[in-house]
A and B are shown apart, each in its own frame.
Chain A
Amino acid sequence: MKLLLMMLKNVRRNLIRTILTAIGTMILVLVITGIWSVLEFLDNATSEKSQNIKGIVTERWQIPSQMPMSYARPLEDYSWQGPDNLMTWQFYGGTTDPAKRTFDSVFFAIALEPRKIHTMMDELDTLPPAEKQNLVDIAEKMTLKREGVVVGPGRLKLLKKQVGDRFKVTSFNYRGIDLEFEIVGTFPEGRYDLSAAMNRDYLNDAMDAWTKKAGKPHPMARKTLNLVWFKFPDATVFNDAADKIMNGPDFKEVPVKLETASSGIANFLEAYRDLLWGMRWLLCPAILVTLSMVVANAISISVRERRQELAVMKVLGFVPRQILILVLGEALLLGIFCGGISSSGAYYLVNKVFGGIPFPIAFFGAFKISTHALWWGPAIGATTAFLGSVVPAWSARTVKVSEVFSKVA
């Protein structure tokens, strides 16, 4: 207890140095927390699971996958426990300003069955009850009002629209299928921040209407189904379905494949392999080393300034081990406290205030700070503080009383 009080007093002794070191620690921990959160999310998204597997059916050879919508019905036969565990995705893209197409005016929506939004979509299927109920209500509105669309808050901001607004989209992938939408709700902040979802019936009916009017099928008619999501309880059921689908007689027009969602995401992220490697193995270690150096610098200066004091302490009966603990403790106290403040602050600010870290990579737009960050921060602070202070603390431990006092004399 006595040592702890001394540590606290020593930390407060040179406030400028303590504040500088603390701010340095907090900022560097913040960056590490952000980077690790992104990497952890991507690791989770790409690691194969043995249970509760999500699978994706796509065109076997080509990117982007474009299958006939007629595949949706036979695929239901391979869905575990019926069609509720299957979700079709069709991509509808366009612009609200055909004269000047910019990033802000681009509108991109996933056409699906509205009732699947809160049961099948990643992260939305595990929302807390209150947020989930909101999506249930939105899905009902989209079912009743087929032009209804749910939009992410980020995209809504870019479009300069709000719930209740109507707008027209000139499509660039379904030429001639220009649709008018009404915004009936928003996605929670985070993963779907820049996305939107629409009722698939609205798109498919518009395609049919185009065909009737033109007297011939739309050029995209046999290419409207982009991917199909499945939920499987375990790898055995998944493998069985994959085998049947890939060799099924119903899918000859365009060959298809079923792969796990994690495998599909890993393929997309492969192009970013070196970038992610650099973040993991160059950037993070460099920041950690820099942080250790900042701590080492501050503690070294502190020990150097207090050599006489440390000698006096030895004279008063403090043993070297206590002095070592005292100096290490000061650094650890600062590191753990600042690391904790930084990571918990980042968790709150990024997740609750800013709605995620905007780092567009593959098809992920923004990343939330991981809940693990709540212990990462103190751990990073403690580790770097220990590494940075162990040498100066050892040097404090070995201060020779006779040498110090001979210089004073």
Chain B
Amino acid sequence: MFPMHLLLAAATAAPPLTLADKIVAGVIISICGILMIAVLARVPLIYNIRNLFVRWPITLLTGSAFTLVVGLLVVMLGFVNGMYRLTENSGNKENIIILGQGTQDEVFSSLGFAAVDDIENLPGVMRDDQNRPVVSKETYVIVNQPITNPQPGRPKRRFLQLRGIEVPDLSGLVHRVELQGEWFSTAGVRPDPSGDASKPNLVESVIGQGIARTLAGDVGKESLTIGDQFVVGDRRCVVVGLMLSRGKTFDSEIWAKRDLVGKSFGKETYTTMVLRATTGKEAKRLEDFLKNDYSKGSIDPMLETKYFANLNGTNQQFLYAIMVVAAVMAVGGVFGVTNTMFAAIAQRTKDIGVMRLIGFGRLQILGSFMLESLFIALAGGALGCLLGSFADGWTANSVVGSGQGGGKSVVLELTVDWKIIAQCMLFSLVMGFIGGLMPAVSAMRLKLLDTLR
């Protein structure tokens, strides 16, 4: 007896399919469908493929349109994917981010000292091996910094994201930051290496790799390294550590001693507190407590993963824009293949008549011409995916935010993964299908006598 109950149990136990899984399944089913039409319907596959080669200039033109559209779509989706990855990677599920009440952006937030000191001692907050609460108390400012040697036609200033932190190793632990070099000292400053006592002390700073590359452009280097100096506001800073934070929002940030940051930019209070709970479940409990029952300060607590998910507003806007552009560009591909297939049918009317005479049915004629347009879509789309996938790993500047103004400037890495390739292949096949349908139907409907006249 067929073990139906086992099959049902396996199906129930399997995790639900994500959208990407469904798309991949769609592509596989589509390709299998093409092959099945070819085999089961006894479509003259070789005849179709030969025709594509015989009319190679037109095939090439049509296929190139698919390559271009799909290649560009891969790059655009890789950009948005990179932004999503960035926001996903930046949040930890055990962390809770606390901002001042009513603010959703760190830059507008203000937290009272008393509340911050109280919250870090709440039960459920993780403690390190020295029994210190694992929290990061921060002052975040955006500095409008003049560029030392601006290129002609380029902006004269840039925005630097500066995060003042109190205990750097704890902040590193909270944000899971790997460091090359060292954290800044307790004083947060060091004398100028020239030994000239009249020169002000240098502010020790730890910077992300992305901003290290950006700042290095001013001094003609590829990236700032440990010991290099740069200016923030009117203070000279020295790099003491590099955050290996590629793919996180911190990649675009400069971290320094909080007292110095606050004093330099007139922001004496904390803007942000991030605390690490012992577990994800405990983090949720703490978030609920702080949101509903905590009364010693005006705060807005949020799970860090949720906070960064809220920063996906800009990503959504870009994604919608890309969908519109892709749909419009697809029109080019669709009409190209429609024209090509109509021309193919007009040239091969007699062929169609002969095929009908030797026994091919109407559906086989339909399948035959549909296959031709799908082949063009498959080949053009595959080449587009291949070319577009070279964009994987490119870096680009962008902004992540809630889509309601504000946001963070970030350096992101374009990420072309298999899901994007699958989506774009499916997109290409759909273009081929839509473009080929009308001509194939018209070929199917040709009357035998008319075709042979």
At the interface, yes or no: B219 with Cβ under 8 Å from chain A?
A: no
Decide: A273 near B397, CB < 8 A? Known: A24-B331, A278-B79, A286-B68. Answer: yes
Task: Kindly list chain A residues whose C-beta atoms are within 8 Å of the C-beta of B51.
Answer: none
Whether A275 pairs with B396 at a CB distance below 8 angstroms is yes
Task: Kindly list chain B residues whose C-beta atoms are within 8 Å of the C-beta of A211.
Answer: none
Whether A296 pairs with B397 at a CB distance below 8 angstroms is no
Q: For the complex, what is the distance from the CA of A283 to the CA of B75, rounded to whole Å?
A: 10
At the interface, yes or no: B398 with Cβ under 8 Å from chain A?
A: yes
State the main secondary structure of chain A at its contact with B. helix
Whether B79 pairs with A297 at a CB distance below 8 angstroms is no
Q: For the complex, what is the distance from the CA of A275 to the CA of B145, rounded to whole Å?
A: 22
Tell me how far the C-beta of A114 lies from the nearest C-beta in chain B, rounded to whole angstroms.
24
Q: CB within 8 A of A293: which of B61, B267, B321?
A: B61
Q: CB within 8 A of A300: which of B57, B79, B325?
A: B57
Whether B144 pairs with A271 at a CB distance below 8 angstroms is no
Interface residues of A in 310-354 (CB under 8 A from B): none
At the interface, yes or no: B20 with Cβ under 8 Å from chain A?
A: no
Whether A294 pairs with B332 at a CB distance below 8 angstroms is yes
Q: For the complex, what is the distance from the CA of A24 to the CA of B329, rounded to whole Å?
A: 9
At the interface, yes or no: B333 with Cβ under 8 Å from chain A?
A: yes
Contact digits for B130-161, partner A, Cβ 8 Å, 1 yes 0 no: 00000000000111110000000001111100
A13-21, A147-155, A398-406: which lies at the B interface? Answer: A13-21
At the interface, yes or no: B15 with Cβ under 8 Å from chain A?
A: no
Task: Kindly list chain A residues whose C-beta atoms are within 8 Å of the C-beta of B346.
Answer: 305
Whether A60 pairs with B342 at a CB distance below 8 angstroms is no
At the interface, yes or no: B16 with Cβ under 8 Å from chain A?
A: no
Decide: A297 near B61, CB < 8 A? Known: A62-B265, A270-B159. Answer: yes
Task: Kindly list chain A residues whose C-beta atoms are within 8 Å of the C-beta of B397.
Answer: 270-275
At the interface, yes or no: B409 with Cβ under 8 Å from chain A?
A: yes
Q: For the complex, what is the distance from the CA of A71 to the CA of B325, rounded to whole Å?
A: 46
Tell me how far the C-beta of A163 lies from the nearest C-beta in chain B, rounded to whole angstroms.
25
At the interface, yes or no: B38 with Cβ under 8 Å from chain A?
A: no
Tell me how far the C-beta of B249 lies from the nearest C-beta in chain A, rounded to whole angstroms.
13
Decide: A270 near B158, CB < 8 A? Known: A64-B108, A301-B58. Answer: yes
Whether B61 pairs with A289 at a CB distance below 8 angstroms is no
Q: For the complex, what is the distance from the CA of A287 to the CA of B332, rounded to whole Å?
A: 9
Tell me how far the C-beta of A37 lies from the nearest C-beta in chain B, rounded to whole angstroms.
14
Contact digits for B56-78, partner A, Cβ 8 Å, 1 yes 0 no: 01100110110011011001100
Closest to B406 in A: A64
Decide: A298 near B155, CB < 8 A? Known: A27-B328, A283-B325. Answer: no
Q: For the complex, what is the distance from the CA of A27 to the CA of B334, rounded to whole Å?
A: 12
Contact digits for A22-36, partner B, Cβ 8 Å, 1 yes 0 no: 011001101100000
Whether B329 pairs with A20 at a CB distance below 8 angstroms is no
8 contacts between A and B (CB under 8 A): A27-B331, A63-B159, A286-B329, A290-B69, A293-B64, A300-B61, A301-B343, A359-B321
Nearest 7 A/B pairs, CB to CB: A172-B102, A274-B396, A301-B343, A290-B332, A24-B335, A63-B142, A271-B409
